[in-house]
Structure 1
Amino acid sequence: MAVTNSNFGNFCLFMTAWLLMSVTLYNFVLLNPLAPAMRTMYETTHMVRHNETMPEETWIVLYAVSVSCVYFGAMVGGVGTNIMLSYVSRKGLMQLSHVINITGVIVIALVAGTTWSYEALIIGRVIAGIPLGVAYNLPILMMAELSAKCKQNFWQSVVGLSVAFGILIGSIFSHPKILGSLSLWTVLVSLAVIPSLIYLISSHWIPNTPFYVLRTYGKDEALKVLKKLRQGTLDEIKEELSSMSEEIGGKRKVLIKEMLTTKEYRNMFAGVLALFLNLVLVGIDNILLYSDKVFIEAGISPDKATYATIGVFAMQLLASVVGSKIVDRFGGFKVHVASNIMIIFAHVTYTVSQVATPAAPNAMPYVAIFAVGVFLIAWSGGTNLATFALLGEITSEPTRSTAYGYSAVIFWVVAWTVGFVPPYLQIHLGPYALTIWLGCAILFLIYVLIFIPRLRRQRHKEDVLFMGSENMEIKKLNC
């Protein structure tokens, strides 16, 4: 099929794939370089309230809660996505998510910024986490439904690219010498309003996804949307519309009970869940949320740790740019497998560097930076991008929102644990703090190698059956 995305279609895809994910990841990483300013704020507030110096144990707990509480909001967003899609359109939920993001920014910047209350900051982080939960669900779903199939892998990977962009910009701007100081951190947080305002304004021209319009308003309205989003002849566009009708197959959305009790759907759900968990259980949050602390523990001086963070996050973004092209060319499966192998190598290298630090204290910190860099390149340029591409390959339109929504709930529950425990792993496991993520990476590599090809073949067989049944109907009509 020669039909591809029009220029207007690419604009809609970019606005949908880029803004929500990048702004939520920007918010996600802010507290990493902000830790020194946060400590001053928290200690000052504690002294005013209790007239005593804040104990070290209290600071560790408050910091871990402040960093990881974003996951509570993300859980709400993950659950809410699946529920809200039964009542509002894809575009409507995207608009609502940006409004919630603006609300979270106001609570953090205005309330916590003027009172230095850690309760207000934590509440604001929870609110800001809601669109983060939506961002790991809705844009992936919309890319699968907005993009022409020939460019679907590329646009799915752009969602992952926006992750790396938000992380890098957040890490740079939150540096104490830029906006991460006590006097400017509220400006740093307030910048997150800009992408949301851009989307809310531009969404006036962005249509709903063709699949949603087809289900809700019928073929005539869906054809109008496709004419705007696609570049090709009218016959080619009508052929894509016919393919969409076949994918829906006259069937309403598959609900969770049917998904768990039907073998084919259950296997699909297990695959989606495994891909989601693979994103987080290889230890990415250990780096994104605590990279400065990781580098300091590895022997980098505190005044240089944030520069090391910015350096590896810049490599992460570059890897994502290159990785999106690689995924587009080689497909999600090959890239995913290669990336997990690199992640395993990175974890082993980092652990060796920590064990060997007493023997070579000057050299090992740079080995640790190298290992973290390799990990981020593999995750951002491979696993993160390939996961989004594979999710589209193993699901169909009737199953997609249910599989994504419930998997996202479990994903964020697990992600909260992963985000909370790194300081304690460092205390109790020392140089072996990353070995738990090493074990998970090995298990996921085995799963992907064995089961994902089966799910892809199953989805391909369904497409063939749909096309075959459609051809049979045409033959009957001709007779």
Structure 2
Amino acid sequence: MAHVCFSCTAARQMNSSGDTEPKEASRPAGSSRILALTICSAAIGGTFQYGYNISIINAPAIYIQSFINDTYMERWGTSLNTSQVTLLWTIIVSAFSLGGLLGALLAGPMAVHCGRKKSLLLNNSFLFVATLLVLPCRMAKSFEMIILARFLVGMNSGISMSVQPMYFGESAPKHLRGAVAFSSAVFTAFGIFLGQVVGLTELLGTEPYWPYLLASNALPGLIQLLTLPWFPESPRYLLIDRGDKKACVRALQRLRGGEAPVLEMEEIIQEQQQQQSVALNSQSAASSKTPWSLFRDHDLRSQLRTVMVASSAMMLCGNDAIYFYASYIFLEAGIPADKIQYVTIGTGASELTAAILSNLLIERAGRRYLIVGGYSLMSCWTIVFTLALILQSWGVAGMPYLSMACIFAYILSFGLGPAGVTGILPAEIFDQAARPAAYMVAGSLMWISLFLLGMLFPFIVNGLGNFCFIPFLAVCVASAVFLGLTLPETKGKTQAEINAVFERKNGRKRQKQVDQPIKDHYQLGASYSLSSLVQEPHPDQKNGDGNLL
């Protein structure tokens, strides 16, 4: 499923003066096993669900629309016209996006108060309630139960799409942070692909079984509920948010398969000290920020602007519209109706292939090149696709197949960069205090954009015809230009280094907060025990309960 490649030892790097950084203790051969299993357990009930629930709604579209019309006829003695059925179907599709918006708003407070892991576990409750609604909906003759079920499934996806990348970004070592966080996109693509396979007419994509298809998302949730409790919480959350140093060390030991890396503990402690210093200077508690405080903070404007554009563009580029309305798009492209379900599987396979390839490349190529290159390629394919549709309307042979190839190429380009890099950005360019609020803002914009796209796309297709992808061309070009100018490369950088880059962009220079002795650890290559790094703080830095401020 997720491809995660871990090295067992940290490479020695030369600093500017010719000295070497200390080499971490060798890891056991299976040192990556716990981290890899943690990723699989969290993602199978997390971003996998987002991709799965996007794709499974496409296969039973005709049967659900027929069920809506039959139910209305039994209630009121009259049938609905085509536009009314389409409107109710659009409400069902868009309920997922509205639920996702509410889930994104809940994700931040849940991640702060419950923790990253417990939030993912509690999130499954929305999924199980949705299952209880959708299974008896046909017997109850209620299409409203489908709408409510899709809303709850959207809440589940909205929470997981924000909390899971946060959990991954805070649990991974620095040199694998991008690959681990990008595995969220791999599982999203895997969910899309598997949902398309399960929705085949040979499996659950038939009239008698469509309620079971919509309820099949309960199985991945059950797998997560049974497995995730056995894995550790985010080490950064344990130390910085809860002030539990011993739990942080234990979590790092499990995730790294041995002794907790000294340099990694130093980095976490540095971030904790920076937040404490900021809190002491501002005479306030070192608590998590709110979305409103992010907008008011001049030091975070560049980061916030970058994340807002990237999150909105991820949905407004039109990639997910292909999964919601795949049948409409392929019919417009001239693909025979009986072949569409098999062609649709190719779209999921394309994004899964691209996500795995990008997972291999992200720590080499970097985040900036992947996301800018992805939007640039998408712009090119949009132009070719539009030309193919125009030539097809003129009767030029072979154009339907060129249109289909353009859609595959478009999805491949999306999966190569924007699909995964967008979810990584809030975790990498915001510190621990601002990260939950940043995911709330990013998630809200993402789901609002998806809702608007789901509501408007059928009308865009009907109104613009062969030029239906021109709005997406504008989004892709604008995103490539903006992110190319504003987004710095974050590959292999610590949180302090990333903050420094954005401080220069914001025209501000924050006073250095890192203690000199910790810096000397790197310069001298000294080896310090973990006990020296997790000493009890000064009494002035504790609150009345004995916890860190």
Aligned position for 2:251:
225
Cα offset for 1:386?
Answer: 2.2
2:514 maps to 1:469: yes
Cα offset for 1:144?
Answer: 0.9
Aligned position for 1:413:
448
CA deviations over 1:418-461 (Å, ceiling 9, x no partner): 11111111111111111111101111111101111288999626
Instruction: Work out the CA distance in 2 between the residues paired with 1:101 and 1:393.
Output: 29
Aligned position for 1:177:
202
CA deviations over 1:403-432 (Å, ceiling 9, x no partner): 111221122112100111111111111111
**More displaced stretch, 455-464 vs 52-61:** 455-464
CA deviations over 1:219-259 (Å, ceiling 9, x no partner): 2221111111114555xx23311211212322432333432
Instruction: Work out the CA distance in 1 between the residues paired with 2:229 and 2:296.
Output: 41
Instruction: Work out the CA distance in 1 between the residues paired with 2:115 and 2:404.
Output: 44
2:144 maps to 1:119: yes
Cα offset for 1:467?
Answer: 8.3
For 1:243, which of 267, 271, 277 is the aligned residue? 267
Cα offset for 1:285?
Answer: 2.3
Superposition pairs for residues 313-324 of structure 1, below 5 Å?
Answer: 313-324=348-359
For 2:56, which of 30, 34, 44 is the aligned residue? 30
| Percent of residue pairs identical | 21
For 1:82, which of 108, 111, 115 is the aligned residue? 108
User: What letter corresponds to residue 373 of structure 1 in structure 2?
Assistant: F
Instruction: Work out the CA distance in 2 between the residues paired with 1:256 and 1:311.
Output: 39
2:497 maps to 1:460: yes
TM-score (norm 2): 0.81
Instruction: Work out the CA distance in 2 between the residues paired with 1:43 and 1:78.
Output: 33
Aligned position for 2:184:
159
Superposition pairs for residues 307-346 of structure 1, below 5 Å?
Answer: 307-346=342-381
CA deviations over 1:6-56 (Å, ceiling 9, x no partner): 321221122123431112321222221211211221221122122223201
Question: Per the alignment, do residues 227 and 307 of structure 1 end up closer, same or farther by CA in structure 2, a change over 3 Å counting?
Answer: same
**More displaced stretch, 82-91 vs 274-283:** 82-91
Instruction: Work out the CA distance in 2 between the residues paired with 1:459 and 1:116.
Output: 57
Contact 2:42 2:228 in 1 (8 A): no
Question: Per the alignment, do residues 50 and 255 of structure 1 end up closer, same or farther by CA in structure 2, a change over 3 Å counting?
Answer: closer
Cα offset for 1:328?
Answer: 2.8
For 2:422, which of 366, 369, 387 is the aligned residue? 387
Cα offset for 1:474?
Answer: 7.4
Aligned position for 1:441:
476
**More displaced stretch, 184-193 vs 68-77:** 184-193
CA deviations over 1:271-300 (Å, ceiling 9, x no partner): 111221121111112211001110001111
Instruction: Work out the CA distance in 1 between the residues paired with 2:343 and 2:511.
Output: 52
CA deviations over 1:287-329 (Å, ceiling 9, x no partner): 1100111000111121111111112221221121112101132
Instruction: Work out the CA distance in 2 between the residues paired with 1:44 and 1:302.
Output: 23
Aligned position for 2:131:
105
For 1:137, which of 158, 162, 180 is the aligned residue? 162
User: What letter corresponds to residue 398 of structure 2 in structure 1?
Assistant: A
Aligned position for 2:321:
286
- Of Structure 1 and Structure 2, the greater helix share is in 1
Instruction: Work out the CA distance in 2 between the residues paired with 1:178 and 1:297.
Output: 26
2:232 maps to 1:207: yes
User: What letter corresponds to residue 144 of structure 1 in structure 2?
Assistant: G
Tell me, what secondary structure is at the counterpart of 1:183? helix
CA deviations over 1:337-380 (Å, ceiling 9, x no partner): 11111111121111111111122354111111011101111112
For 2:218, which of 193, 197, 212 is the aligned residue? 193
User: What letter corresponds to residue 62 of structure 1 in structure 2?
Assistant: L
Instruction: Work out the CA distance in 1 between the residues paired with 2:115 and 2:299.
Output: 27
User: What letter corresponds to residue 134 of structure 1 in structure 2?
Assistant: I
Instruction: Work out the CA distance in 2 between the residues paired with 1:466 and 1:386.
Output: 30
Tell which structure's C-alpha radius of gyration is larger. Answer: 2
User: What letter corresponds to residue 368 of structure 1 in structure 2?
Assistant: S
Cα offset for 1:177?
Answer: 3.1
2:93 maps to 1:56: no
Instruction: Work out the CA distance in 1 between the residues paired with 2:298 and 2:190.
Output: 39
For 1:8, which of 24, 28, 34 is the aligned residue? 34
Tell me, what secondary structure is at the counterpart of 1:180? coil
For 1:274, which of 286, 295, 309 is the aligned residue? 309
Tell me, what secondary structure is at the counterpart of 1:398? coil
User: What letter corresponds to residue 242 of structure 1 in structure 2?
Assistant: E
For 1:365, which of 396, 400, 406 is the aligned residue? 400
For 1:402, which of 437, 440, 460 is the aligned residue? 437
Instruction: Work out the CA distance in 1 between the residues paired with 2:74 and 2:325.
Output: 28
Instruction: Work out the CA distance in 2 between the residues paired with 1:462 and 1:311.
Output: 41
TM-score (norm 1): 0.93
2:172 maps to 1:147: yes
**Structure 1: any 5+ residue segments left out of the alignment?**
none
User: What letter corresponds to residue 424 of structure 1 in structure 2?
Assistant: F
Contact 1:247 1:463 in 2 (8 A): no
For 1:352, which of 375, 383, 387 is the aligned residue? 387
Aligned position for 2:537:
none
User: What letter corresponds to residue 252 of structure 2 in structure 1?
Assistant: L
Contact 1:246 1:467 in 2 (8 A): no
Contact 1:282 1:438 in 2 (8 A): yes
Question: Per the alignment, do residues 83 and 392 of structure 1 end up closer, same or farther by CA in structure 2, a change over 3 Å counting?
Answer: closer
Tell me, what secondary structure is at the counterpart of 2:433? helix
Instruction: Work out the CA distance in 2 between the residues paired with 1:202 and 1:66.
Output: 32
